[in-house]
Amino acid sequence: MHNEPLAYRMRPLTLDEIIGQQDFVGPDTALYKMIQNGHVPSMLLYGEPGIGKTSIANAIAGSSKLPFFALNATRAGKKDVEDIVQEARISGKVILFLDEIHRFNKLQQDTLLPHVENGSIVLIGATTENPYHDVNPAIRSRCGEIHQLKKLTTANLVELIQKALTDDKRGLGKYHFALIDSQIEHIATAANGDARKALTLLESIYYASDEVNGQTVAADHIIEHLIGRIGVYGDKNGSQFYNLLSALQKSVRGSDTNAALYYLAHLLETGDLVAVSRRLLVMAYEDIGLANPQIGAHMLAAVQAAERLGLPEARIPLASAVIEMCLASKSNSALVAIDAAIASIHAGKTGDIPHHLRDAHYEGAKDLGHVGYQYPHNSPIGTFGGWVDQQYLPDELVGTEFYQPVIAGEEKRMASIYDKLKTFRNSKK
């Protein structure tokens, strides 16, 4: 058996061997044609693990026939970069594949950038993090292509697994390993778009299977056991984690209960209960808000219960609260109103606090004119409580309305009170 892992051996050697990502490197794309005509541009490849970043870099090198060097930015030192620069001087042009490029430090960049700029080094950078957030602008500006790769489909992974099963040189073809179509489909689905996971799982299943009549046969219970060990991707400090948080909030805002539960489950599997709870609490006030004010209290109780319980039990109160948020009436009027008030201040639309609203709890306040305040509780108005018609905004802002009610849920009642009070004010003008 080979010493290298199956996922390493099955990396494509040319662009024509790449499975998936055809919108980027397929025969009809500009990149494919450029490379076939001898031109390889510097580029950044962005996406989740196992979707083909390293494979594409290797395939480009194989199709272009240029000298190929690979470095990992977490381990490479200045000497490694200098060696590649020296090789570029000798060879005329080389391809440098730099994995985890977002971790490239300034010293390494300073050594490399002039040679990327003059074309002696073709830089192919790979990152799981958003390059617009995590890759230095100096690197980005020298890369003509910044491409976000798509997660591989189940059909892509089925094709890859079948290729590995039949390849006599690099795959498992000569080992007479038998899988039925439903087992291949199950492996491909479990890998969740990650080619490396699919091939690693396939190799593990092979080693855990028994030989029957000269053929290695995989048992379903072995496949199930190994699939159960596949981890969930989502570095709590990475772009994917924040993408999941964003997807969770937008699913709740869109009242899609099943999508919200899916993203909540994925987030909880990363283990960062604090960040998830914080986002859920914000959502209760940002997206449900005044339409159902009780949701904020319910979510706070769920978060406190989750913190006390810890994972995995924390999933239960959080799931209950997420379902409740999905199905609740929604309003963002409080968020819009406070942002409008902040924007007004930043735009210079300010004024002096009316004298009757200023602090009067000290000797001499009357001498400064801090008088005239009317205490609303002394003037009952129906079942509302107390209310008097007096000015609260500065003179320069009188008549400004930051709050625009949303007619939804409980806020519909609040909106009617808001409008009635406006009517009272206007009637006395």
Do 369 and 282 share a structural domain? no
What domain range is 339 assigned to?
333-427
How much is the pLDDT for 240? 78
Which tens digit of pLDDT belongs to each residue from 299-308?
999 999 999 9
Do 184 and 168 share a structural domain? yes
Domain finish residue from 227, 250, 273:
227
Which tens digit of pLDDT belongs to each residue from 399-424?
999 999 999 999 999 999 999 888 88
* Residue 335: band (very low, low, confident or very high) from pLDDT cuts 50, 70, 90: very high
Mean pLDDT of 37-48: 91
Which tens digit of pLDDT belongs to each residue from 189-231?
988 889 999 999 999 999 999 888 878 888 989 898 888 756 5
Asked if residue 14 is part of any domain, the answer here is no
Asked if residue 232 is part of any domain, the answer here is no
Asked if residue 393 is part of any domain, the answer here is yes
Q: What torsion do the CA atoms of 32, 34, 36, 38 make, to the nearest 10 degrees?
A: -150
Domain finish residue from 126, 148, 170:
148
User: Which residue in 378, 325, 151, 128 sits closest to 240, CA to CA?
Assistant: 128
User: Which residue in 199, 200, 206 sits closest to 176, CA to CA?
Assistant: 206
Q: pTM higher than 0.85, yes or no?
A: no
| One-letter amino acid of 179 | L
How much is the pLDDT for 200? 93
Helix (H) or strand (E) holding 217: strand 215-217
Do 385 and 306 share a structural domain? no
